Amino acid sequence: MPLSEQEQRLLDEMERNLYHGDADDVTTVGRPGRANYTAIALGILGGVVGLILLVVGVIVRQPVVGLLGFLLMFGGALLCFAPPRRLTVPQDPRDAAGPPRAGFMDTLNERWERRNDTEE
């Protein structure tokens, strides 16, 4: 069954948006931002100090010191391996511009809802 003229235009527009959206995705994949080396260094330092505190806590038989060491070690690992977004430096000025515009699926859903509203 052939598509109507309006459906064909909508399909063409969806294809153009899809190709444009794919191009945007390809340029941003793999570049979430440059890591902040200060955060990584602090994470490593926290892990080392936490490990030392953990060992000292075991030697002096003080569970509180060992627990504090473990928590410091865990926090250092989190800071080192998954630095928060506020500690990353964006590579591209467009990444720091603010919230992204509506995605392809959002636009498609809005058009579908408008189409259903006009048919009723």
Residues in a beta bridge with 89: 34
Give pLDDT tens digits for 30-77: 555 666 788 888 999 999 999 999 999 999 999 999 999 999 999 999
Give pLDDT tens digits for 66-118: 999 999 999 999 988 875 655 555 555 555 555 556 677 788 888 888 887 77
Residue 116 CB burial class (10 angstroms; 0-12, 13-18, ≥19):
exposed
Tell me the pTM: 0.46
Distances (CA, A) of 3 to 13, 15, 21, 116: 14, 15, 24, 17
